[in-house]
Amino acid sequence: MPIVTIQQGPRGVEQKRELVARVTEAFVAALDCPAESVLVWIQEYPAENWGKAGKLTADQ
């Protein structure tokens, strides 16, 4: 069973639905596995909980 973890900032539920569908399709195509076997985890982090280039994303 493929397990995919996506870490990102908060997104809307429609965007997450599409993301999960597309990631699943990619794994089905690449691994020739059934869609039912693909598990996708989305971990969301608010902008104040991560940074880039030495600054919090919330401050950029």
For the segment(s) 3-59, the CATH number from 3.40.50.300, 3.10.129.10, 1.20.120.50, 3.30.429.10 is: 3.30.429.10
Rounded CA separation 8/22 (Å): 16
pLDDT digits (tens, 9 = 90+) for 5-36: 999 999 999 999 999 999 999 999 999 999 99
Q: If pLDDT is split at 50, 70 and 90, which confidence band does 46 have?
A: very high
For the chain, the structural domain boundaries read 3-59
Upper half-sphere CA count for residue 48 (Cβ side, 13 Å): 0
Q: If pLDDT is split at 50, 70 and 90, which confidence band does 55 have?
A: very high
Rounded CA separation 22/39 (Å): 12
- Phi and psi, residue 45, nearest 5°: -125, 125
- Provide the whole-model pTM: 0.85
Among 2, 1, 4, 14, CA closest to 41: 4
Q: What is the pLDDT of residue 60?
A: 87
Q: If pLDDT is split at 50, 70 and 90, which confidence band does 58 have?
A: very high
